[in-house]
Amino acid sequence: MGAPTTSATFDRAYQAPVTWWGDIRIPGELEALVRSERPRTSLELGCGLGRLARYMAQRGVRATGVDFSPVAVAKARERVAKDEVRPEFLVGDVTHLDMLTGPFDVSYDVGCFHCLDGAGQRAYVAEVARLLRPGGTHLIWALDRSPSGLALSPAAVERVFAPQLRLKDARTSRRRLLSAHWYWLVRSEG
């Protein structure tokens, strides 16, 4: 199976016992974001099975996760059902998040942005800018070459997010043995 691109193909992938893109560790970059920003609220775009939003909730953050796979969201809700503090999981398209109002202190995305085409990326940026508090940080892990073939680089990401968010830092990553980057973007104050 190639990289999924639609809600239906993600649903099929999440119905499998193991997804090929799943990780068992919490990225150090997300841990550092929690330590440095001390957020009260967070938004995860493309939350999948909810492991990262659950991590945030366990640290006292009011966490919200969004994914366009109803199967993933159902599994995420099931996984946290007995937790004392639970994230909120919603089925939604990261390019149209009308069901959410901000502001969120931080937002993050580990593997969603690179799945979008150019128009989708611009709509995603508009939603992040609308929902993230001024001065808030948006953290992204993205492949250097998207499943659709788009090349992503620090310069490309900086162009897509400007002027609403400023690229603060970009670092190469071999996470999942693929050429990728972590990006830290900061929402404009105005």
Q: What is the pLDDT of residues 24-74, one digit of tens each?
A: 789 999 999 999 999 999 999 999 899 999 999 999 999 999 999 999 899
Helix, strand or coil, per DSSP, at residue 184: strand
pLDDT value at 154 more than 70: yes
Per the rule left: phi > 0, alpha: psi between -120 and 50, beta: everything else, 163 is alpha
What's the pLDDT score for residue 189? 87
| 2 band by pLDDT with thresholds 50, 70 and 90 | very low
CATH of domain 40-187: 3.40.50.150
Question: Is the CB of residue 140 less than 8 Å from the CB of residue 124?
Answer: no
| 22 band by pLDDT with thresholds 50, 70 and 90 | low
- Mean pLDDT of the 93-114 span: 94
